[in-house]
Amino acid sequence: MTRLLREEKVFKDPVHKYIYVQDETIWNLINTKEFQRLRRIRQLGTSFMTFHGAEHSRFSHSLGVYEVARRIISQFERNGYADWPSEERLLCLCAALLHDIGHGPFSHSVERVFGTHHEEWTCRLVLGDTEVNRVLREADPDLPRKVSDVICKSYDKEIVVSLISSQLDADRMDYLLRDAYFTGVHYGTFDLERILRVIRPHQGHMVVKESGMHAIEDYLMSRYQMYWQVYFHPVTRSSEIVLRKIFERAKRLYGDRYPFQFLMGPLVGLLENDIGIDDYLALDESYVQMTIMQWSKERDPILSDLCERFLHRRLFKYVALDVIDEAWERELKESFAAVGIDPDYYLEIDFLTDLPYDVYRPGDEEESLPIWLLNERDELVEISRRSDIIRSISGIHMGKHHVYFPAEPIEEKAGLLSPGVRRMLGVTGESNE
C-alpha cells in the first residue's frame, strides 16, 4: 500500500537532529498546501512575547510528532513485539503528521471568542476537498476516514490512538522537548531515548515496564515545569487576554454594524460564524497580525488602543491574589466603570483552572488515556498508584488568581478609586515586565 521513496529524505531538526522520511505518502503530505500553511501559525501563540525564542511554528512541531511516532514504531518493529499491529504503521504516521492541521492562528483566543474547534477543522481538512485528502486517498481510499478517527479518538484500536493522544503520546513528547528548546527553558527536557526503551505494546494498550517508572516521573516533572514556567506564564496570559479582548471588541462592533476601515474576507466569515475551507486556510497569523496593525488606526478608541497594546507589547499588568470572591469582583468592575474604564475590555480575572490543564490527573472526566505500568507478574497498574511523586502532581492545586488590567489609565485615575481597590491592585507601584 505504502510506497517507499527511492532515497530516504531528511529534514534537519534542532530537536531530533534529523527527521527521516521514507514513505512517499508522508513526503507528499508534507508538500500539500494545507500542511505548508502550518509554517504560518506559531506553535505557542503569543508566548513569543514572554520568551522571545518561542517563534517556532506548528509546521516544525508536526514534523516532530511524526518523527517521534516513527521512532516508537521502529523500536517496536526492531524488538519484534507481538502485540504491535504492524499493519497500522502508515496510519499512525499520517495521523501523527496531520493531528494539528486544523489549527488556526492564536487558537486559544480565537476559539474562545468565535467558537471554532481545531479538532473539528482537522477532520474537515482530512475528509474534505483538499490536497491532503487526495494524497491520503491515493495510498488507500479508507485512509482519510481512519486518520480522522484516530485524531478524534474514535478509532477502535486503543494502541493506535495512544500513540497520538494519551498522557504519553508522540504529541506531548515532541512539544515538551521543542518548546523547551525554543524558549531556552532547558529544565523542560527529558530523556526521549530512555522513554522509548521502556514503552511497549501489550494486549492492545501502550504500557511502561515497571523498571521504567522513574523515567516516567522525570517526563511528568518536565511537563509540570513547562506548565508553570512557560504555558501558564502570566505575561503570556496577559497577551492572550489582550488578543481575546480585541476579538471580542471586533465582534461587538461588527454586531453593531460599525464601519470597519479594514475588514477582509476570511475574517468576515469568522464574524458571521460561517466560514468555508478556503477562507479558513487563508486565515493564518500574518492575516491576523496585519489586521491588528490596520485596526490600530480604527476610530473606535477601544479597538485601536487594544491593537496598539498588542502590537507594541504594552500588555496588561497583573496582580496575584490568594482568593477573590464575587463581591470583590463586582466592586472591581464597578470601580472601573465609575472611572470610565470599560471593565468588559480592560479587566480580567484569571483562574488557572479555566485552562486546558493536562498535568496528569487520572480520575478527571476529561482525562486522556492513563499511563499503565506492566509489573513483573504481567499485571497492569495505573502509574500514580505506584509513584508518590506522580500522585502529588496529579492533585496539585492551581496556584493563585490573577487580576489583569492596564497599568497607565488605572494609575492615572488611582485617586478616584477606593482604597481597597487601590490596595488590591497595588496601583501606586510600577508596571511589571
Give the residue with the Cβ less far from a copy of itself, 10 or 416: 10
Give the residue with the Cβ less far from a copy of itself, 117 or 297: 297
- The distance of closest approach from Cβ of residue 48 to a copy of itself in the complex, given in angstroms and rounded to an integer, is 7
Cβ–Cβ under 8 Å, residues 24 and 156: no
How many other C-beta atoms are found inside a 10 Å radius of the C-beta of residue 255? 9
DSSP for residue 12: E
Give the residue with the Cβ less far from a copy of itself, 194 or 252: 194
- The distance of closest approach from Cβ of residue 153 to a copy of itself in the complex, given in angstroms and rounded to an integer, is 28
- The distance of closest approach from Cβ of residue 81 to a copy of itself in the complex, given in angstroms and rounded to an integer, is 12
List beta partners, residue 116. Answer: none
Give the residue with the Cβ less far from a copy of itself, 137 or 214: 214
- The distance of closest approach from Cβ of residue 391 to a copy of itself in the complex, given in angstroms and rounded to an integer, is 7
- The distance of closest approach from Cβ of residue 68 to a copy of itself in the complex, given in angstroms and rounded to an integer, is 16
Give the residue with the Cβ less far from a copy of itself, 321 or 338: 321
Residues forming contacts to a copy of itself in the complex (CB under 8 A) are: 8-15, 17-18, 31-33, 36, 39-40, 48-49, 51-53, 55-57, 59-60, 63, 79, 181-187, 190-191, 193-194, 197, 214-215, 217-218, 221, 224-225, 228-229, 282, 284-287, 289-290, 293, 311-313, 388-389, 391-393, 395-397, 433
- The distance of closest approach from Cβ of residue 395 to a copy of itself in the complex, given in angstroms and rounded to an integer, is 8
Give the residue with the Cβ less far from a copy of itself, 8 or 354: 8
Q: What is the DSSP string of 360-427?
A: --TT-TT----PEEE-TTS-EEEGGGT-HHHHHHHT-----EEEEE-HHHHHHTGGGS-HHHHHHHTT
What contacts 237, CB < 8 A, 6 or more positions away? Answer: 318, 350, 402, 404
Q: How far apart are the first and last CA of the chain?
A: 55
Grid cell digits, residue 273: 460564524
State the Cα–Cα distance between residues 7 and 399, nearest whole angstrom: 52
